[in-house]
Amino acid sequence: MTTTVTFNDLTNPVVTVKSPSYPEEEGRTYTHLIGRTMGGGIKTADMGDGTVHQNPVLHFRDMTNTHYTNLKTFFETTVSFSKTSFTYTDPHAVAHTNMHYLGGMERARSKKGNRWDFDVRLTKDLAA
C-alpha cells in the first residue's frame, strides 16, 4: 500500500497527493443484477467478475496546503469539475478509469497549520 494517490486525465501532469484517511468508502457495486419472477422467485444475472468501484468517497484529513491546491486545481481547471473523465489510482495501486468528480472540495475546512480536511465524491462512467 502506498502513502499517495494519483489523479490523471492523460493530457496534463499527474496530480499526486497524500492518501485518503481510512476507512475509505469504496462505493463498491457488485456486478450482478437481481430480479423477481411473476411467481415470486429470484433470478440473478452475473454481469462479470469482481466488483466495480462506482461511487467512492475519499476522506482526506490533514492535507497540506500544496496538495489541497493541486487537487482543487485539478478538479476545477483540468477536468472542469465533472465534465472530463480521469484515472484515479488508489493507495493499493489499483487504477480506476473513467472516473468523474461529483463534489466535496467546496466543503473543505482549513485547520491550524495551513492544513485541510475534506471528502471527495467520485463516480465511474460505466458507459465508457
**Residue 42 dihedral angles phi and psi, to the nearest 5°:** -110, 130
| Residue type, position 6, single letter | T
Q: How confident is the model at residue 101 (pLDDT cuts 50, 70, 90)?
A: very high
The pLDDT value recorded for residue 67 is 95
Q: How many Cβ atoms sit within 10 Å of the Cβ of residue 98?
A: 14
Q: How confident is the model at residue 54 (pLDDT cuts 50, 70, 90)?
A: confident
User: Which of 98, 95, 100 is CA-nearest to residue 120?
Assistant: 100
Would residue 81 be called left, alpha or beta, if left means φ above 0 and alpha means ψ between -120 and 50 degrees?
Answer: left
Mean pLDDT of the chain: 85
Residue range 56-74, pLDDT digits in tens: 899 999 999 999 999 999 9
Instruction: Locate the domains of the chain by residue range.
Output: 11-124
Q: Is the pLDDT of residue 23 over 60?
A: no
Q: How confident is the model at residue 103 (pLDDT cuts 50, 70, 90)?
A: very high
Q: What is the mean pLDDT of residues 5-31?
A: 78
- Set of cell numbers at residue 9: 486525465
* b/e 106-128 (16+ beta carbons within 10 angstroms → b): eebeeeeeeebbbbbbbbbeeee
